[in-house]
Structure 1
Amino acid sequence: MGVDLGPGSPFDPTLDELALLAESAGDTPVARITAKRRAPDAALFVGEGKADEIKALVTEHGGHCVIFDQALSPAQQRNLERHIGVEVLDRTMLILEIFGARAQSHEGKLQVELARLQYLSTRLVRRWSHLERQRGGVGHRGGPGETQIELDRRMIGERIKSLKARLERVKRQRGTQRRSRERSGTFRVSLVGYTNAGKSTLFNALVKARAYAADQLFATLDTTTRQLYLEEAGRSVSLSDTVGFIRDLPHTLVEAFEATLQEAAEADLLLHVVDAASPVLQQQMAEVQKVLHEIGAGDIPQLLVYNKLDRLGGHQQPRELTDELEIEPGRRVPRVFISARDGIGLPQLRQLIARAAQGAGGLNSPDPSQDRVLSDADEMITPVWPATGTFQSKT
Structure 2
Amino acid sequence: MTAPFSEDQTPDPFDGFDEPMTGELDLEERRALRRVAGLSTELEDITEVEYRSLRLERVVLVGVWTEGTAEEAENSLRELALLAETAGSQVLEGLIQRRQRPDPATYIGSGKAAELRDIVIATGADTVICDGELAPSQLRHLEETVRVKVIDRTALILDIFAQHAKSREGKAQVELAQLDYLLPRLRGWGGNLSRQVGGRAAGGVGIGGRGPGETKIELDRRRIRSRMAKLRRQIEEMAKSRETKRGERRRNAVPAVAIAGYTNAGKSSLLNRLTGAGVLVENALFATLDPTVRRTETPGGRAYTLADTVGFVRHLPHQLVEAFRSTLEEVTDAGLVLHVVDGSDPDPEAQIDAVREVFREIGADRVPEIIVINKADAADEMALARLRRREPNSIVVSARTGAGIAELRQMIEEQLPGLEAEVKVLLPYDRGDLVAQIHERGEVAEQEHLAEGTLLRARVPADLAGELAPFEALTPTS
- Once the two structures are overlaid, the 10-residue window that deviates more, 96-105 or 126-135, is 126-135
Deviations 1:31-56 (A, max 9, x none): 01111222322321111110111111
Return the match for 1:3 from 34, 50, 64: 64
Question: How far is 1:130 from its partner?
Answer: 3.6
| Partner in structure 2 of residue 385 of structure 1 | none
| Partner in structure 2 of residue 174 of structure 1 | 242
> Number of aligned pairs?
353
1:154 counterpart letter in structure 2: R
Q: Distance in 2 between matches of 1:201 and 1:185?
A: 27
- SS of structure 1 residue aligned to 2:93: coil
1:13 aligns with 2:74: yes
| Partner in structure 1 of residue 110 of structure 2 | 48
Larger Cα Rg: Structure 1 or Structure 2?
2
Q: TM-score, normalising length from structure 2?
A: 0.70
Contact 1:99/1:112 (8 A) holds in 2: yes
| Partner in structure 1 of residue 434 of structure 2 | none
1:346 aligns with 2:408: no
Q: TM-score, normalising length from structure 1?
A: 0.84
- SS of structure 2 residue aligned to 1:26: coil
- SS of structure 2 residue aligned to 1:63: coil
Contact 1:66/1:89 (8 A) holds in 2: yes
1:156 aligns with 2:224: yes
Q: Distance in 2 between matches of 1:73 and 1:361?
A: 52
1:345 counterpart letter in structure 2: G
- Structure-2 change in CA distance of 1:202 and 1:279 (3 Å): same
Return the match for 1:221 from 289, 292, 296: 289
| Partner in structure 2 of residue 306 of structure 1 | 373
Alignment of 1:1-395 (within 5 A): 1-6=62-67, 12-14=73-75, 15-127=77-189, 129-130=191-192, 132=194, 134-137=196-199, 139=207, 145-232=213-300, 234-313=301-380, 334-357=393-416
Q: Distance in 2 between matches of 1:159 and 1:17?
A: 33
Contact 2:343/2:383 (8 A) holds in 1: no
- Structure-2 change in CA distance of 1:334 and 1:40 (3 Å): closer
- SS of structure 1 residue aligned to 2:92: coil
Q: Distance in 2 between matches of 1:62 and 1:54?
A: 12
- Once the two structures are overlaid, the 10-residue window that deviates more, 153-162 or 42-51, is 42-51
Deviations 1:91-121 (A, max 9, x none): 0000000000000111000000000000000
Query: Runs of 5+ in structure 2 lacking a partner?
Result: 1-61, 200-205, 422-478
Query: Runs of 5+ in structure 1 lacking a partner?
Result: 328-332, 363-395
Deviations 1:221-275 (A, max 9, x none): 110000012232x221100000000000000000000111000000000000011
1:156 counterpart letter in structure 2: I
Contact 2:128/2:149 (8 A) holds in 1: yes
- SS of structure 2 residue aligned to 1:238: strand
Q: Distance in 2 between matches of 1:112 and 1:95?
A: 10
What is the CA RMSD across the aligned residues, in angstroms?
2.5
Contact 1:195/1:244 (8 A) holds in 2: yes
**Bigger RCO of structures 1 and 2 (CA < 8 A, at least 6 apart):** 2
- SS of structure 1 residue aligned to 2:94: coil
- SS of structure 2 residue aligned to 1:29: strand
